[in-house]
A and B are shown apart, each in its own frame.
Chain A
């Protein structure tokens, strides 16, 4: 049990996918203008992470390893992730058209979010058990959501700030992301 908690905390804070491992920067910059859409994006990504990592774990240990096909890892994993993203996209389009529109192109782009593929490969490299994999994915997804919400909150307040012209938009966002990343390095050594 303690082991699972350590994995969760590690994925959430210490090795935060966005701010420490620098994976998934594209949606981190793209969908962090409003807290609402940031939460939606974070939760959608978390869902894809959890389901995809569970599926990839099964594929890795019951299909690829027994049949001696580990070289197909990337392809198989991407296939799983792409299918999951399609599913989420359909689900969101049906249940929450507003969120669907707010996320725009970044929703299908979850497919190419390296954080998800990275997570799936990391669980394989770390020889995690199935439960550990799911917890790790949950932590990673929540960590991603946390980073997105933090940046979105700051960027919402930035609307009122007097930012020098050359830094407006993405420029200031990258600086803030850097500072956030610096702050998160303070979690190192927590576990």
Chain B
């Protein structure tokens, strides 16, 4: 009985003393962290995907608190998270733009010509570095679905024409498909943009026609017709400057190869363009 009491008292006293010491030390060695960092981390998705360019959600939160990162820098969280983060920081979030992936190739099984059969592993990257797949065009989609496999959000599928399709409602612009594509045909674009030049071929018109029935032949009609100067020609390929494009669809109408497409349901955009 006596031993029990002595044990309890001695251990209890020791514990209390150490607790006191640690309490003092924690005050003395307190690290001043920005309390906003914890708050921001709280509202972030927390998947640590790294799509924002920081090492993880914690780093991104620190970045926002210190002003290195934009409040709408989390592509996965989208507008909802951007708004919450902006509230914590105390700034107005200027309507963060949601981005989605766009596949810049139209050359599926029906359009792109075959030059043989490919029997290797069904993976775009392997096909690309070995003999380049079975299509004549060496710029377009290989069609083995590495982007679809890479998508962590099930936001892509391969259609019956052998081309990847992005389900824009599910896309979080994490950029995994962009990384996975060995031919760089996937791009992250503001969701509101509805006009896209779906070709990446740098060949001249004659060779494009030999390879594909929907490739850009660099005829320049779209460049001439564009009222805002959003389309320019570079390396035998029409490029679109999304900062200037207003979704007016003039180019879609004149494109002889139907390379330029209009996605139904996208809004017309008013853009104030500074000279």
Contacts and interface: CB of A to CB of B under 8 A. Distances in A.
Interface stretch (A22-30, A74-82, A124-132, A166-174): A74-82
Interface string B1-44: 00100110011001100100110011001110000000000000
B7 A69 contact: yes
A90 B22 CA distance: 9
A72 B26 contact: no
Please indicate which of the listed interface residues A59, A90, A91, A97 has the most CB atoms of chain B within 10 Å of its own CB: A90
Contacts of A76: 11, 14
A97 B29 CA distance: 12
A91 B27 CA distance: 11
Contact of B22 (A72, A86, A94): A86
Given A67-B6, A72-B7, A79 B14 contact: yes
B29 A80 contact: no
B29 A90 contact: yes
A155 B21 CA distance: 39
Interface in A136-175: none
Nearest to B9: A67
B17 to A, nearest CB: 9
B26 A83 contact: no
Contacts of A79: 11, 14-15, 18
Contacts of B18: 79-80, 83
Main secondary structure of the interface of B (DSSP, over half): helix
Contacts, number: 43
Contact of A67 (B10, B22, B25, B26): B10
Interface residues of A, number: 18
A83 B11 contact: no
Interface string B232-263: 00000000000000000000000000000000
A68 interface: yes
A63 B25 contact: no
A97 B31 CA distance: 10
Contacts of B26: 90
Contact of B29 (A59, A68, A94): A94
Contacts of A63: 10, 14
A59 B13 CA distance: 12
Interface string A89-114: 01101100100000000000000000
B25 A90 contact: yes
Contacts of B21: 83, 87
A90 to B, nearest CB: 4
A91 B30 CA distance: 9
Given A83-B21, A94-B31, A68 B3 contact: yes
6 contacts: A69-B7, A75-B11, A83-B18, A86-B25, A90-B29, A91-B29
